């Protein structure tokens, strides 16, 4: 049975309550350790906000010209709603321009069933009309991110699927028929993308809630990745996000650890290594 998600026209799209709570927790604590004001470079990544948003290195889901990571609540919930359908059991959502028309589209990762998952792409024509297309994914999809992993100028998709990471390659038109798997430890539920070593290619970090580690995969080019490097984090890591905590221009890694009630900040050494870390106790 197809489930329906309700999409706020300001682009916050029907996340589960537990997921919203985790993301809100991350943002709240990041605001504490890295307070940002709404200046021209509010997230202090060395790039002016306007350029940052135009390059899609920071999201601006409410289109107010301020990167979303600078705002705890960037969405006006009084906005009009529009109902659209996706495949069954949606687990994660992101907004990204998949067809390079300058308009944000919607992508959801959906568990769908016991033998497969589906990725639903909703192409936005700019008037509130979305064209739906579904693409097959591996089983048990639980998280989703988007980045240009092969350097062709088109945003590809990354999903975490418990047993694998899946890369869905964009053919340039927003179609994702070609897919590649990366074998991971059982229990990999969350993943995120970012350029950790500054070579212009998106790298990958994933978390495993059975081993209490974050795994970093450096992009080697030509659709290949180096052997992963594991970094210890708190107990039962769940949400993982990539952000420049220190304002030094290098992307750091943050994990929410629900078992220990902490946030782990893995600090980037500038070359894509994360030997130093900090722990923030949430008290939750």
User: Is it the case that residue 25 has pLDDT exceeding 80?
Assistant: no
Distance of CA 215 to the CA centre of its chain: 15
19: Cβ contacts below 8 Å, ≥ 6 apart: 92, 239
Residue 216 lies in a domain: yes
- CA angle 229–232–234, rounded 5-degree value: 145
Residue 164 lies in a domain: no
Task: Look at the block and give the residue holding tokens 């301020």.
Answer: 66
Q: Give residue 183's pLDDT.
A: 94
The string of pLDDT tens digits covering residues 122-160 is 999 998 899 999 999 999 999 999 999 999 999 999 999
Residue 60 lies in a domain: no
Residue 49 lies in a domain: no
- Do the Cβ atoms of 143 and 152 come closer than 8 Å? no
Q: Give residue 80's pLDDT.
A: 62
Residue 278 lies in a domain: yes
Q: Give residue 76's pLDDT.
A: 56
Residue 61 lies in a domain: no
Residue 57 lies in a domain: no
For residues 86 and 111, what is the distance between their CA atoms, to the nearest angstrom? Answer: 11
Number of structural domains found in the chain: 1
Task: Look at the block and give the residue holding tokens 């948003």.
Answer: 53
Confidence of residue 37 (pLDDT cuts 50, 70, 90): very low
Residue 213 lies in a domain: yes
Residues spanned by the domain of 283:
195-284
């Amino acid at each position: 049975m197809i489930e329906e998600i309700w999409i706020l026209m300001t682009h916050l799209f029907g996340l589960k309550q537990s997921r919203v709570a985790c993301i809100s927790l991350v943002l709240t604590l990041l605001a504490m350790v890295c307070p940002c004001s709404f200046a021209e470079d509010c997230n202090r990544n060395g790039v002016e906000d306007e350029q940052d948003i135009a390059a899609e290195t920071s999201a601006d889901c409410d289109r107010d010209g301020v990167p979303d990571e600078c705002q705890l609540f960037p969405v006006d919930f009084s906005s009009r709603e529009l109902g659209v359908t996706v495949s069954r059991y949606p687990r994660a959502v992101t907004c990204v321009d998949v067809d390079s028309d300058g308009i944000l589209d919607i992508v959801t990762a959906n568990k769908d069933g016991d033998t497969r998952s589906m990725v639903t792409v909703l192409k936005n024509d700019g008037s509130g009309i979305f064209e739906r297309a579904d693409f097959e994914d591996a089983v048990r999809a639980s998280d989703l991110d988007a980045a240009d992993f092969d350097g062709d100028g088109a945003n590809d998709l990354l999903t975490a699927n418990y047993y694998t990471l899946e890369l869905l390659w964009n053919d340039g038109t927003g179609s994702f028929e070609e897919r590649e798997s990366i074998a991971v430890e059982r229990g990999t539920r969350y993943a995120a993308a970012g350029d950790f070593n500054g070579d212009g290619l998106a790298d990958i970090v994933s978390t495993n809630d059975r081993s209490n580690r974050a795994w970093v995969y450096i992009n080697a080019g030509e659709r290949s990745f180096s052997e992963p490097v594991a970094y210890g984090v708190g107990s039962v890591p769940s949400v993982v996000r990539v952000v420049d905590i220190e304002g030094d221009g290098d992307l750091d890694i943050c994990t929410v650890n629900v078992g220990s009630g902490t946030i782990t900040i893995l600090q980037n050494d500038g070359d894509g290594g994360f030997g130093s870390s900090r722990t923030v106790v949430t008290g939750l």
